[in-house]
Structure 1
Amino acid sequence: MSAEVTPFPIHAVRAAQVGFERDELQRILDLYGRLVAAGQCRDYAMDFGKDAAVFSAFRRAAERPMARIEKRPSLRGKQGMWALIGEAGQILKRGHELAGVLFPLERKLLKLVEN
């Protein structure tokens, strides 16, 4: 009795997907948590495509995102792969480093401390 073995396709054709690294996602979720604690956000969504990874923060679940953080590796050598996009779709900040792009949202959380 002879059995024929069909090899499993190792090199399956699959579209590459852009995602967040662990430390990038940790930084984004930390900021999101502080926005929730401040009452500015209530929901979030993540979208992973072949061109970009997007984190969207919402004031309420049924409206446009108040801010989107996009990672587009194809723009790494140009304007930078990170972008902060506002509610109306305007690009608020673009850069090569995530920390610099998140600064406008972090600035909203800063409060003056009275002596």
Structure 2
Amino acid sequence: MSLHPPPFPAAGAAPDAVAFQRDELSVILSLYGRMVAAGEWRDYGISTLRDRAVFSVFRRTAEHPLYRIEKQPRLRARQGMYSVTGMDGQILKRGHDLRQVLRVLERKLIRPVGD
């Protein structure tokens, strides 16, 4: 008789991949919708990796992402597990509060009104 591993991970076991929770996705998709309405963004992709979850934003589908919104739980006790990275790989903002971190992108919606 052979023993097979359980089909689901045991309680308290580490998950196979990091993912965004429903409330986190709600905040991100709210910003995404406003940016699409403003004509700034056109597509997105979500990646769930072993150590991080990534929400990539594109102007066009075939391009490299304009921004990456990342969740890295291992940085929770340090700089914060949320970060926004630009196209060039530079971290634009990092912190513990997702809404606060996303404000760096919301500033792109505010434009001066010309006379």
Structure 2-normalised TM-score?
0.85
Distance 1:63 1:109, change over 3 A: same
For 2:43 and 2:105, the matched residues in 1 are separated by 16
What's the counterpart of residue 88 of structure 1?
Answer: 88
Say whether 1:97 aligns with 2:97. yes
Say whether 1:34 aligns with 2:34. yes
For 2:92 and 2:79, the matched residues in 1 are separated by 13
For 2:60 and 2:84, the matched residues in 1 are separated by 19
**Matched residue count:** 110
Q: CA deviation at 1:7?
A: 7.1
What's the counterpart of residue 107 of structure 2?
Answer: 107
Alignment of 1:71-82 (within 5 A): 71-82=71-82
RMSD of the alignment, in Å? 2.4
For 1:113 and 1:88, the matched residues in 2 are separated by 29
Give the % identical residues: 54
For 2:86 and 2:106, the matched residues in 1 are separated by 14
Amino acid at match of 1:17: A
Alignment of 1:21-60 (within 5 A): 21-60=21-60
Structure 1-normalised TM-score?
0.85
What's the counterpart of residue 5 of structure 2?
Answer: 9
Gapped regions of structure 2 (runs ≥ 5)? none
Partner of 1:108, secondary structure, is coil
- 4+ runs deviating over 4 angstroms: 11-15, 111-114
Q: CA deviation at 1:11?
A: 6.3
Q: CA deviation at 1:20?
A: 0.5
For 2:46 and 2:104, the matched residues in 1 are separated by 20
